[in-house]
Amino acid sequence: MDNWVIALIKVVFIWTWTLLIATLMTWVERRGSAMMQDRLGPNRAGPFGLFQPLADGIKLFTKEDIIPEKAHKILFSLGPILFALPAFSAYAVIPFGDKLIVNGKEIILQVADVNVGFLYVVALGAMAVYGIVLGGWGSNNKYSILGGLRSTAQLISYEVPFGLSLLAVVLVYGTFSLREISLVQQGTFLGFLPNWGIFKQPLGFILFIVTAYAEANRVPFDLPEAESEIVAGYHTEYGSMRLGLYLFGEYVNMYTLAALMVTLYFGAWHLPYIDMSKFLGPVSYGIASFLVFFLKTAFFLWLFVWVRWTVPRFRYDQVMGLGWKALIPLALVNLFITALCIQLTV
């Protein structure tokens, strides 16, 4: 019975936390873009414009819900749901801290420690494309369908290097469980570096971050919704909260991917050279590990915003060329070198 309650609390907590962060991210993005363009950004709704996402939400919820006459009713309504659902559930296997010991009971700060955690995240990430392509198809609009098809082509090209760079990580750590990968990143590597994934997989990390941006449909890979070419891409026909789900799901995806980067390459909740569990009490250690993990994730979330307002969008053939001619060969080379190193050292 007790385990049930704990599991429920963890689910509710991570759900609300993810939603809160995604909501805040819309504000961060708008203020961040304003900062880079020498503007102020939304600052009228609440202190520093912090309630801007709330105002947007209220407006989107109370707007008229239009289903175009020529659209395919079922696919049109299914699109945003199929996009948002995998985005909301992907965080389940990613840790958000080490463990909390309350009343002698050990609580692991992760909803589910699945031994195929990796595959779960990759599978759900690939699911998101169904939402985009069904929404684009169901809208019965030429721009929507172009956006949807672009997203499919992009996903097929980038899923391969994404998977291959993850595979190299699996080779290094010998496990699929994200918690076990986090646990072994304690200590130092080669005597002076923190024992983080990035120092064992530098090329793998670069491949991963590039493909992650493509997976999340973020600039410079936001071709499915390129405003300057195809109006608004796959969500051209969507208004009200259906659009809200698409926009919101994107931020949730970003959060999941940033957390994945931290877990795999940046030592999860470990600080470099310092072992927090040595001098912190059980409860404060749990909270500290959560905070460290979150701060690292926040940096990568900010990196998403930073890149978006710095790098211009690629042309379509450049995206395909980069994917097939550069990233896939590099990912294969990376996998080969990793396998070789492991073979020689073990």
List residues binding another protein (CB under 8 A). Answer: 30, 34, 37-45, 49, 51-52, 54-59, 62-66, 227, 231-232, 235-240, 243
Rank residues 71 and 92 by Cβ distance to another protein and give the closer one. 71
Rank residues 59 and 325 by Cβ distance to another protein and give the closer one. 59
Q: How far apart are CA 162 and CA 270, in angstroms?
A: 25
Rank residues 65 and 106 by Cβ distance to another protein and give the closer one. 65
Give the angle subtended at the CA of 271 by the CAs of 269 and 272, to the nearest 5°.
135
Rank residues 2 and 64 by Cβ distance to another protein and give the closer one. 64
Tell me how far, at minimum, the Cβ of 232 lies from another protein, in Å. Answer: 4
Cα separations in angstroms, 71 against 75, 136, 140, 266: 8, 10, 5, 45
Tell me how far, at minimum, the Cβ of 50 lies from another protein, in Å. Answer: 12
Tell me how far, at minimum, the Cβ of 171 lies from another protein, in Å. Answer: 43
Task: Find the farthest-apart pair of alpha carbons in the chain and give their distance in angstroms, rounded.
Answer: 66
Rank residues 59 and 105 by Cβ distance to another protein and give the closer one. 59
Tell me how far, at minimum, the Cβ of 4 lies from another protein, in Å. Answer: 36
Tell me how far, at minimum, the Cβ of 25 lies from another protein, in Å. Answer: 14
Q: What is the DSSP string of 291-309?
A: HHHHHHHHHHHHHHHHHHT
Query: What are the two backbone dihedrals, phi and then psi, of residue 290, each rounded to the nearest 5 degrees?
Result: -60, -45
Rank residues 42 and 220 by Cβ distance to another protein and give the closer one. 42
Residues composing the chain: 346
Tell me how far, at minimum, the Cβ of 215 lies from another protein, in Å. Answer: 23
Rank residues 141 and 263 by Cβ distance to another protein and give the closer one. 141
Cα separations in angstroms, 264 against 22, 116, 202, 272: 21, 14, 12, 15
- Tokens standing for residue 201: 């997989």
Tell me how far, at minimum, the Cβ of 254 lies from another protein, in Å. Answer: 17
Write b or e for each residue in 150-176: b if 16 or more Cβ atoms lie within 10 A of its Cβ, otherwise e: bbbebbebbbbbbbbbbbbbebbbebb
CA nearest neighbour of 218 among 14, 25, 17, 38:
25
Rank residues 206 and 231 by Cβ distance to another protein and give the closer one. 231
Tell me how far, at minimum, the Cβ of 34 lies from another protein, in Å. Answer: 6
The residue with tokens 């009343």 is 103
Rank residues 104 and 312 by Cβ distance to another protein and give the closer one. 312
The residue with tokens 């659209």 is 71
Tell me how far, at minimum, the Cβ of 9 lies from another protein, in Å. Answer: 30
Q: How far apart are CA 328 and CA 309, in angstroms?
A: 26
Sign (positive or negative) of CA dihedral 234, 314, 301, 185: positive
For the chain, state the CA radius of gyration.
21
